[in-house]
Amino acid sequence: MRWEEMTSPEIGALDRERTVVVLPIGSIEQHGNHMPLGTDSILAHAVSLKAAELAGEVAVLPGPWFGFSAHHMRFPGSISLRAETLMAVADDVVASLVTHGFCKILIVNGHGGNGGVIDVLASTLGHKHYGKARIATLTYFALARDSIAAGRQSAPGGMGHACEYETSLIQHLRPELVKIERAETHYPDPGSDYLTTDLIGSQSVRVYHDFGDLSPTGTLGDPSLASAEAGERFFNAAAEALAAFIGDFRGWTLPGRKQ
Ligand SMILES: [Zn+2]
């Protein structure tokens, strides 16, 4: 299930028609005063592994730790790839998978800042490997939007970054990494009714926000409402939504495939 722990013959023996290969991507960037830099990458990988367990016949790749985080660079510790670099990494990984005959490849994103990149990847890689593989990309918390919304306590703006949602999840999965006594609540004002910073708000208009302009600590939302119990519910909801998608994706046809 974990690609890096399997042997080459074990990968060679996987059913190419049924196996869904998942590439998790996230970020290394500030997550307020209380959360680890690797939050998004840790969560994308953990949700992918749990979904793999639920769905079966899924192989989860080790993801690149870094993502597109230019908007976090005013905060120490943030590391950003250029969007082009991230796309090139995903392009090469997917090309390798297609070389080995895999035809259902899913990029699972855990970082809002990678949203534009995964949209482009779905189109460019989908075109490049047309007839050989289907490439799907998604952001896992958007997929589970409804169940996350049902389980939240905060008002709009309370789930954004290092917030009720992300803090709960890390408290559930890696509680030793959360310094909750240093957490600060911040409901940002994005400056227009057309804009939202909420993780599961509807973002019809895209704009660049430097996080240093939105929040003095880098936190967007309300970590004071977080708990490990809520984190377990959010985690299971996210993994179940992803597993359901994987089960569906497995059955998709390959338009343009030469018989
Ligand atoms: Zn995050």
What spacing in Å lies between the alpha carbon of 161 and ligand 1's midpoint?
A: 5
What spacing in Å lies between the alpha carbon of 42 and ligand 1's midpoint?
A: 10
| Predicted pLDDT of residue 242 | 98
pLDDT per position as a tens digit, 102-114: 999 999 999 999 9
In the chain, domain spans: 3-248
pLDDT per position as a tens digit, 26-84: 999 999 999 999 999 999 999 999 999 999 999 999 999 999 999 999 999 999 999 99
Is 209 a residue whose pLDDT tops 80? yes
CB 194 within 8 A of CB 250: no
Q: Which residues pair with 24 in a beta bridge?
A: 108
pLDDT per position as a tens digit, 132-142: 999 999 999 99
What spacing in Å lies between the alpha carbon of 168 and ligand 1's midpoint?
A: 12
Give CA 230 to chain center in angstroms: 19
Around ion ligand 1, which residues have CB less than 5 A away? 39-40
Cα–Cα distances (Å) from 136 to 66, 123, 161, 182, 216, in that order, read 20, 9, 25, 38, 36
What spacing in Å lies between the alpha carbon of 197 and ligand 1's midpoint?
A: 12
For 3-248, CATH number out of 3.40.50.10310, 3.30.465.10, 3.40.309.10, 3.30.70.360 equals 3.40.50.10310
| Predicted pLDDT of residue 49 | 98
Is 202 a residue whose pLDDT tops 90? no
| Predicted pLDDT of residue 259 | 65
pLDDT per position as a tens digit, 132-183: 999 999 999 999 999 999 999 999 999 999 999 999 999 999 999 999 999 9
What spacing in Å lies between the alpha carbon of 100 and ligand 1's midpoint?
A: 32
